[in-house]
Chain A
Amino acid sequence: MLKTKPAADGHTPVGDSVPRLDAHDKVTGAAQFADDIQFGPGLLQARILRSPHAHALIKRLDVSRALALPGVKAIVTGEQTPGYIGLYLQDRHIFCRDRVRYIGDPVAGVAAVDEATAEQAVDLIEVEYEPLPAVFDPVEGTRPDAPLLHPDLGQYEAVNFIFPKPGSNISNHFKIRRGDVAGAWAQCAAVVEREYRVPHIQHVPIEPHVAVAKWDDKDKITLWASSQSPFAQRNLIAKALHLSQSQIQVIAPYVGGGFGAKAGVSMEALAVVIAGAVKGRPVKLRLTREEEFFTTFVRQGLVARFKVGCDQDGRLQALENTYYWDAGAYTEYGVNMTRAGGYSGTGPYDVPNVKVDSICVYTNHPVGGPMRGFGMPELHSGLEQAMDDLAHAVGVDPVEFRRRNCIRGGDIVATGMTMHPTGLPECIEKAAAAINWGHKSSPSAPNKRRGKGMAIMWKAPAMPPNAGSSARVQLNEDGTVMVSLGGQEIGQGTFTVMAQMAAAALGVPYDWVKVAGPIDTDSSPYEWQTVASRLTWSMGNAVSAAARDARRQILEMVAKAWKESPDDLDIVDGQVISYKSEEACSLKDLVIYGLPNPDGDGWIGGPVLGRGSFMPTYVTGLDPETGQGPRAVVHYTTGAQAVEIEVDLDTGKVEVLRAVAAFDVGKAINPDMVRAQMEGGLVQGISTAFFESLQLKNGRVLNPSFVDYRIATAADAPPQLEAIIVEVPQDDGPWGARGIGEHSMVPTIPAIANALYDAVGIRLEAPPFTAEKVYLAMRAAGVVQ
């Protein structure tokens, strides 16, 4: 683990809440996003013809009338895209070929001189469909007589940790079998069985997806995109089009919110294929807000069945959970979310007997994909309510119950891995203390009731076992530092944190460091994807390795020039100093032009260029039948949230009065930005708890606009929110750090649900907890007349 080197004044950039690198440009409007890049009058606009059917065969497709429209430059269809594309399971064509599987599935793409013309051309394309029976429920989708979405499932290419079941709608089934679950129920003093559902929601980045593609006459492709995954996009699109990765250059400026929606490939390949038909001209595809709600990724729906039991002391004995993921028409990315939901399916608990089934089911719904939390908000939503119910059933206080059962360092988790040191018990204590657990405050009016609730969580980065990061650290003539990397700034602040790490590892002030942008796959070092809350840890390791490499080069050069040992030298505040000879030299005087040779003529050294890369090497496979293996994941970030709410008995409206978040981040590289992640995630969690649901009817999203799909506004943020940092270091994290970006919204729904139970004694089957649902449940329970 790296130690932080203090500067001369005792100040170090790591652990300091320095201002964001990108904030100035973002408050002046100078920060460039993908849609801001100017392409001049040659730019063509693209629009997409989408399937109006949830499930149908394409019988006839005629583009001739559309092509004849003046201003239309090209139309592409599935004929141009015979190959398959997908991250973990290649189960989709870029444009549909013979079959459409959800309302919104892309059938054809038009490039025209302007958007209006492209839109008009889309309307002129003639398609004849033969509607097929459809699947709209994941449990029904697993039945043997269910309509099949992917008859070719057995032929699809998949990574070796995904197990599709050909001849069914199940594209992955992850199992844990540990101990004797069937025998354990008899030992239990209390058993709780519940079914909870989680609706589909959408990420709602404020910046819609945008991609601009240009294809030159030598088949070199440039793609400018709002992207969390420039390298993965290059890789997947190249494979699907049978090109070499080096033929595609992805340029990705600042991302105006991602939350997973801009990971993998969602719409970018459409622009690339359309541009292939109008070589030499850039083609822009910018999704409308309406398209944003159902044609990129959405968060999968979940039907979750829990059975949990404990002994009379409230010690968990057995857990049998089944997760049916309503994963949508294509599960190329979603399969791994259901895997993550499987191996983390016990939640952060120490349970001796475990049976978990996490089943990824194709449905004729929008495409499920990664969203902040990657399955964890969904499964914790019901799990943490079931645990609360179990605590009540056995007469143990819910916080005490979590204290007794939560996962601790050294425990064997349900997959057989030994848990690393974790601050989860400390998070529980701190969150409970901050919310003043155990004390009920008086409501603000006689028609109101107050309640408190807590939920805990864990989440591991879900990724291939060997997802890697790399970085370069270059020194400039003036001694300042340029860090090149391939992870994306999507608002989480990664550029700032990487600059802090580079500064600390090298020994220069933070404001000497810049991060090279935009990310460009032709010049930026490789990064797998900006997902999984993995950058602080993984890319951080690469950046600090690169900075240490540059530091080593500098010290070796100076040691030679000064005839000293590098061990006696240090870099402090941008100066190389010798503790032995007390000599000093500014970096600017040596990092480009080297130093004079002390033994005569000539020079030593040269431009300093540090390199670093990181890839975890220790993650193992898991047995497909039992889910057992030595090390399922790299690590778990854990945490707890607690809320105090007030319920209006007359209206059912619920108000969050106070919220507390406590997470173990290993080491907060930038404490203020860590707290900002905890706050933003918690409010996003509140938004999903009270407002958000894609209203699906026969596969159609009925509310694809901000008017009908409401997200939290400034009026909905709680009056008080406390974010607490816990630091139990990660052995292979830079300075001990691990991720926090996604975790902060994982326990929010169940914390609120548990508070609702505490306040008025009701449980709702599914969020959002609208006033109407709360009121009707209170009436059904006899809380109100």
Chain B
Amino acid sequence: MAMHRITFTLNGARERVEVPSNQTLLQLLRERLALTGTKNGCTAGECGACTVLWNGEPVNSCLVLAVECDGTEVVTVEGLAHDRQLDPVQTALLEAGGVQCGFCTPGVLLSARALLDRNPRPSDYEIRDALTGNLCRCTGYLRIIEAVKAAARAAEPA
């Protein structure tokens, strides 16, 4: 397998790695860089557990090849908090009780972050729509939806 040297920004820091052509971003994160917060639920782009931000857009990292990340920016769940301060979506999800088993949680958080970045005041419909790619089997979604609303409210100027 041909190897490629890539340089990209991962959670704010520059990362230089050599990757085989067929390696996915998910494999690179979990198996090579030991960033296991990003989860693998189906390896087929269907469950959303492996969602990361790629140049600010939420993507299924199991469908992105690592070589494609050369020169780009990737944010995983490990990069959401800054200086031990949780991102408002993390705080809101925690406070709303929108976490049960926690396996879908990293993907949900990144989809929510991406939504709020492009649409700071989403409607109920827009929140549900933005989260349809993140399957959750535990919570029934309502507390997750409430959490995104709360995070949006928290970001509004007082």
Contact = CB atoms under 8 A, between A and B. Distances in A.
Interface of A: 19-20, 22-33, 35-36, 38, 203-208, 254-259, 288-289, 490-493, 672-673, 676, 679-684, 705-707, 711-717, 719, 721
Contacts of A493: 100
A32 B95 CA distance: 21
A79 to B, nearest CB: 32
B145 A27 contact: no
A484 to B, nearest CB: 21
A479 B141 CA distance: 38
B144 interface: yes
Q: What is the interface of chain B mostly: helix, strand, loop, or mixed?
A: loop
A289 B41 contact: yes
Q: Which 10 A-B pairs have the closest CB atoms?
A: A29-B37, A491-B101, A256-B103, A683-B140, A26-B102, A491-B100, A706-B46, A29-B77, A36-B36, A714-B131
Nearest to B108: A714
A202 to B, nearest CB: 11
B119 interface: no
Contact of B143 (A31, A203, A679, A711): A679
B63 interface: no
Contacts of B131: 713-714
Interface string B8-43: 000000000000000000000010001111111111
B101 to A, nearest CB: 3
Most buried by A among B134, B140, B141, B143: B140
B121 interface: no
B138 interface: yes
Given A491-B101, A715-B128, A715-B129, A206 B47 contact: yes
Nearest to A706: B46
Given A27-B109, A713-B131, A705 B44 contact: yes
Contact of A19 (B49, B95, B135): B95
Interface string B141-155: 111110000000000
A714 B145 contact: yes
Contacts of A716: 141
Contact of A256 (B39, B124, B134, B144): B39
A707 B133 CA distance: 11
Most buried by B among A26, A35, A682: A26
A721 B97 contact: no
B103 A705 contact: no
A717 B145 contact: yes
A711 B137 CA distance: 8
Contacts of B140: 679-684, 712, 717, 721
B132 A207 contact: no
A499 to B, nearest CB: 16
A38 B34 contact: yes
A672 B97 contact: yes
B43 to A, nearest CB: 7
B85 to A, nearest CB: 11
B53 to A, nearest CB: 13
Interface in B50-76: 76
Nearest to A676: B97
Contact of B137 (A29, A33, A204, A208): A204
A676 B36 contact: no
A206 B104 contact: yes
Given A29-B36, A207-B101, 5 more contacts: A207-B49, A208-B42, A257-B103, A680-B138, A715-B128
A546 B141 CA distance: 36
B115 to A, nearest CB: 11
A650 B104 CA distance: 36
Contacts of A207: 39, 41, 49, 101, 103
B114 interface: no
B116 interface: no
A259 B137 contact: yes
Contacts of A259: 137
Contacts of B6: none
B117 interface: no
Contacts of A19: 94-95
A177 to B, nearest CB: 39
